[in-house]
């Protein structure tokens, strides 16, 4: 059986699986990059799914209705995380809630959407009798601490330094820290099982049409929009693994707390080299910004919990994930081949 085959249903365990999969679950932010793959994974495993969007009729959500199983088992409903009544309606009858929706932005005005939105989601889920909440955090809530030893192995006990994030205007990391802490406090208060998936920069093919922040992280180097790359290190995971971690965290009754989901850690120079090797036709920069500092060292993470406790034992290799992300962007017209770009410039 491959990692993507549905579980077999020919014994008692199989019958339990089948019962489990007919349950109704809700995914907030269903139309986004990660949300769409969580919906797809849930449908593939036989669940009935309700997806929330602020405007379900918007064409940007149309891809969801084309997913296999969507006709029979997916409904979309309007909900804003700042409107608790809309969330209660969305969660009615749901056994599990996947809270994926969040602004992915450094705009300080959007912090309350992440934090108060999470408070509303936890309470609406508890009000409506859900048994489990899976919350999407970010490794931005884990690794941002300049005082940590470069030899440290980061795990689920690590938190970013909030004051450092604030000082360096990493408002998104502050928002994710506060939102995750709010989820933990509110879920404990309401007696709701909480599992937190902690992805890093998430790549891979998109189901939605628009570029999200993490796919744009790669696209801007391919289009030549970035003339230099920073002296920085980042961690990467494939969106299909991240989605699977969400569903496994819901399905394992003992799953609680944080699960780091990280496949590879690369200096940006290594990412540039990989992109150049895979797609030599794009003008990927070879020039590092000179920040006067020595080359940033890749930090290390332990993903023992996601591997051993959730059973996500194999991550998609980054090379495959990046390749498929780029091919998908090409198909969607996000990356005009360089030859075409030259041609266009010449004809302007």
Ligand X SMILES: NC(=O)c1ccc[n+]([C@@H]2O[C@H](COP(=O)([O-])OP(=O)(O)OC[C@H]3O[C@@H](n4cnc5c(N)ncnc54)[C@H](OP(=O)(O)O)[C@@H]3O)[C@@H](O)[C@H]2O)c1
Report the interface residues with ligand X, using CB under 6 A. 29, 31-35, 53-54, 80-82, 100-104, 113, 117, 136, 138, 176, 199, 201-202, 212-214
State the minimum distance, in angstroms, from the CB of residue 8 to ligand X. Answer: 31
Token pair in block for residue 253: 């009754």
Nearer to ligand X, 75 or 212 (CB): 212
Backbone angles phi, psi at 46, to 5 degrees: 95, 5
Name the DSSP letter for residue 108: G
Token pair in block for residue 103: 């602004």
| CB 132 within 8 Å of CB 256 | no
Beta-strand (E) ranges in 4-125?
24-28, 48-53, 74-78, 96-99
Q: Which residue is nearest to ligand X (CB)?
A: 32
State the minimum distance, in angstroms, from the CB of residue 325 to ligand X. Answer: 11
Tokens 């199989």 correspond to 14
State the minimum distance, in angstroms, from the CB of residue 56 to ligand X. Answer: 8
CA 80 → CA 36, 55, 342, distances in Å?
A: 17, 9, 43
Is residue 40 among the annotated active site residues? no
Tokens 């549905």 correspond to 6
State the minimum distance, in angstroms, from the CB of residue 132 to ligand X. Answer: 17
Nearer to ligand X, 138 or 170 (CB): 138
CA end-to-end distance (rounded Å), the chain: 54
Q: Which residues are CB-contacts of 18 (< 8 A; sequence separation ≥ 6)?
A: 9, 46
102 by DSSP, 3-state: which? Answer: coil
Q: What distance in Å separates the CA atoms of residue 306 and residue 334, rounded to the nearest whole number?
A: 33
CA-based angle 157:173:306, to the nearest 5? 40
State the minimum distance, in angstroms, from the CB of residue 112 to ligand X. Answer: 9
Nearer to ligand X, 46 or 199 (CB): 199
Tokens 């990280």 correspond to 262
Nearer to ligand X, 35 or 46 (CB): 35
Nearer to ligand X, 46 or 56 (CB): 56
**Catalytic residue chosen out of the listed positions 176, 293, 297, 320:** 176
Active site residues: 176
């Amino acid at each position: 059986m491959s990692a993507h085959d549905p579980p077999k249903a020919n014994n008692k365990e199989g019958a339990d699986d089948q019962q489990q999969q007919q349950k109704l679950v809700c995914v907030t932010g269903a139309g986004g990059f990660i949300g769409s793959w969580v919906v797809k994974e849930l449908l593939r495993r036989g669940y009935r799914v309700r997806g929330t969007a602020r405007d379900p009729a918007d064409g940007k959500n149309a891809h969801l209705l084309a997913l296999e199983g969507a006709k029979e088992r997916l409904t979309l409903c309007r909900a804003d995380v700042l409107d608790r009544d809309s969330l209660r309606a969305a969660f009615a009858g749901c056994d599990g809630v996947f809270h994926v929706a969040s602004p992915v932005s450094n705009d300080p005005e959007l912090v309350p959407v992440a934090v108060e939105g999470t408070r509303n989601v936890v309470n609406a889920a508890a009000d409506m009798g859900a048994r489990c909440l899976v919350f999407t955090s970010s490794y931005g809530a884990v690794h941002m601490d300049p005082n940590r030893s470069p030899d440290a192995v980061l795990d689920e006990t690590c938190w970013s330094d909030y004051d450092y994030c604030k000082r360096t205007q990493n408002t998104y990391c502050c928002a994710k820290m506060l939102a995750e802490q709010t989820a933990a406090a509110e879920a404990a208060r309401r007696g709701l099982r909480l599992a937190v998936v902690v992805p890093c920069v998430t790549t891979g093919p998109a189901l939605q049409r628009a570029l999200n922040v993490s796919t744009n992280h790669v696209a801007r180097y391919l289009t030549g929009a970035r003339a230099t790359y920073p002296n920085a290190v980042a961690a990467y995971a494939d969106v299909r693994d991240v989605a699977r971690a969400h569903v496994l965290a819901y399905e394992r009754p003992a799953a609680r707390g944080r699960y780091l989901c990280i496949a590879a850690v690369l200096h940006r120079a290594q990412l540039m080299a990989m992109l150049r090797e895979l797609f030599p036709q794009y003008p990927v920069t070879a020039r590092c910004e000179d920040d006067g500092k020595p080359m940033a060292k890749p930090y290390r993470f332990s993903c023992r919990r996601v591997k051993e406790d959730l059973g996500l034992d194999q991550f998609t290799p980054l090379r495959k994930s990046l390749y498929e992300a780029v091919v998908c962007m090409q198909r969607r017209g996000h990356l005009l081949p360089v030859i075409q770009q030259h041609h266009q410039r010449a004809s302007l």
